[in-house]
Chain A
């Protein structure tokens, strides 16, 4: 694994009687996109706030690039950018002024600040709106400006707290492309999301949080494999062929089931997509004519629902 850039080790955070985080560990290697997935109140934002030096952990360790977020807070702040859940741009300032202000605070001269601002405005397709006050920006523009503002100091680590919540699909894709580009350039990204599609598309690894605890961790593929079954669904041409087909499949080592509604549909759980060919071959050899063939992958939704329900102690919906 590349150098760990973001490390939370057994982090606990309590607010009075409420435990927001309960022994959470997350490690993000350099240049990787890591997703924090969970319901509202799962503790995603609290973890981001701890890692971005806004809150101190009650117990446990949080480090950015090896630096402790409590002991070396100011050094950590030189390395991070945070795009919070609510756009943190100054509405009274123009897009350009928002960016130059941050650059000035980070030590740029006036000229350097303007150059950096224009560079980012260009990158985020905001050049035309540069002089307009941010209050006149659309949601998508504001989000882009917000992410731009967190990149002014060219940080090594970016935190994005629900970066696409409330955006229309086009803006969402534009933000995704920005995030992918960042990771390609070696920036380590920790993003929180409620959108499984987003986590699936962007994240190399995902930590699933529920009620302040980690309920699962892994690549999107691993999580899906852990929960759901890949399934070949077959509809035969005639219902009469079903018993023979089931016998043939059983002989080939598959545990196929026929549909309850006594139609000609069969479900065949398989381990890998390569088994699809074996299922088809077996049915051909048994002279069962296939009318319809399908293959279903478990989605992250399955993972999400199952694991968060399990951790909540409620029965898992079928």
Chain B
């Protein structure tokens, strides 16, 4: 529309695409993802949820510490390592994977929310909605991982040989593992679009992954069948890597392998999620 035409018209309410709105550029994937992550984080931002989110790792720490004390053995660790140094990393991985699984539920809830329908009619990159979902749950996971470390230090005197850097590295590595696994659940949510089925599959998948591993019991002490599974379980490798991190003896190979496997997982699941993500 020309200026003359615009002036010739009576005052318009609400203004159409005029000077004010046409100055808006187009938003990029980054802006969109930031804006949408803020939105996805909102449900986590109330006092009740913040407290429960903090307490969850506490319950897990106390529970497993108690159970394992009865067994009288540090899980999967060499004798000279402190007991909590083996337990805290396992709890970190469990926490991060659980948060990743939550991303699938989050997406299902989003799909039920008509806001997502509106997003699909906007000229945005739809992948930003999925990225935002994964980042919001990663942020929640980060908060929980920090609380695991802090609580372990306060209650069990968690002060591993790897020091602060080792603990930070463990947190980041767990975060990466959880975030990359969140894409499995986002992908399944986008494909299945059914909360009940997704929850069943999530349980079916996460329990063996988390517990048929070296998280709490050394695989050497397991019966053969379970031992083979636990030793091949990718979560066992994640546990080992995080334990090496807190022990301060992580190798470059270990680090590189973990990062590579995580990124490969995202590279497979994210494009499938993107392609199957629709509202109708």
* Interface positions of A from 83 to 141, Cβ below 8 Å from B: 84, 86-90, 92-93, 101-109, 112, 115-116, 119-120, 123
Least CB distance from A18 to B in Å reads 14
A185 with B24, Cβ < 8 A, contacts A53-B121, A149-B118 known: no
- A39 at the binding interface (Cβ < 8 Å): no
Indicate if the CB atoms of A154 and B122 lie closer than 8 Å: no
Known: A82-B118, A88-B118. A108 touches B13 (CB 8 A): no
Q: How large is the interface on B (under 10, 10 to 19, 20 to 34, 35 or more residues)?
A: 35 or more
A78 at the B interface (CB under 8 A): yes
Label chain B's interface by main secondary structure: loop
- The verdict on A92 contacting B42 (CB below 8 Å), with A49-B280, A120-B14, A149-B118 known, is yes
Let me know if B47 is at the binding interface, CB within 8 A.
no
Contacts of A181 in B (CB 8 A): 13-14
The reply to whether B121 and A80 contact each other, CB–CB distance below 8 Å, is: yes
CA A172 to CA B141, docked complex, whole Å: 45
- B35 on interface, CB distance cutoff 8 Å: yes
Contact with B42, one of A87, A93, A106 (Cβ below 8 angstroms): A93
Is B251 engaged at the interface, CB distance under 8 Å to the other chain? no
Alpha-carbon separation in the docked complex, A89 to B118 (Å): 9
* B119 sits at the interface (CB 8 A): yes
A106 & B122 in contact (Cβ 8 Å cutoff) = yes
B14 and A112 contacting across the interface, CB-CB below 8 Å:
no
CB distance from A270 to the nearest CB of B (A): 40
Chain B residues within an 8 Å CB radius of A116? 20-21
B87 CB to closest chain A CB (Å) equals 36
B131 to chain A, nearest CB (A): 13
Q: Determine the residue in chain A with the shortest Cβ distance to B46.
A: A92
Q: Chain B residues near A105 (CB, 8 Å)?
A: 27, 31-32, 35-36, 119, 122, 124
Instruction: Scan residues 23-52 of chain B and give those whose CB is less than 8 A from a CB of chain A.
Output: 23-27, 31-32, 35-36, 38-39, 42-43
Inter-subunit contact A104/B16 (CB<8 Å): no
Closest Cβ–Cβ distance, residue A55 to chain B (whole Å) = 6
Given known contacts A105-B35, A106-B27, A92 and B43 CB-to-CB distance under 8 angstroms = yes
Write out the residue numbers on chain B whose beta carbons fall within 8 Å of the beta carbon of A75: 123
A107 engages B26 (CB within 8 Å): yes
Chain B CB within 10 Å — which of A52, A78, A104, A115 has the most? A104
Q: Which of chain A's residues has its CB closest to B1's CB?
A: A186
Once A77-B121, A116-B21 are accepted as A-B contacts, the answer to whether A88 and B31 lie under 8 Å apart by CB is: no
Q: Judging by beta carbons under 8 Å apart, are A119 and B14 in contact?
A: yes
A186 to B9: give the CA distance in the assembly, Å.
10
Given known contacts A106-B24, A185-B13, what 6 new A-B pairs fall within 8 Å (CB)?
A: A54-B279, A77-B122, A101-B39, A103-B24, A154-B18, A181-B13
**CB within 8 Å of B: which residues of A?**
49, 52-55, 74-75, 77-78, 80-82, 84, 86-90, 92-93, 101-109, 112, 115-116, 119-120, 123, 149-151, 153-156, 181-182, 185-187
- Identify 20 residue pairs between A and B in the complex whose beta-carbon atoms are under 8 Å apart, listed by A's number: A77-B121, A77-B122, A77-B123, A81-B121, A82-B118, A84-B114, A86-B114, A88-B114, A90-B115, A106-B123, A108-B21, A109-B24, A116-B21, A119-B14, A153-B21, A154-B14, A154-B18, A154-B21, A155-B17, A156-B17
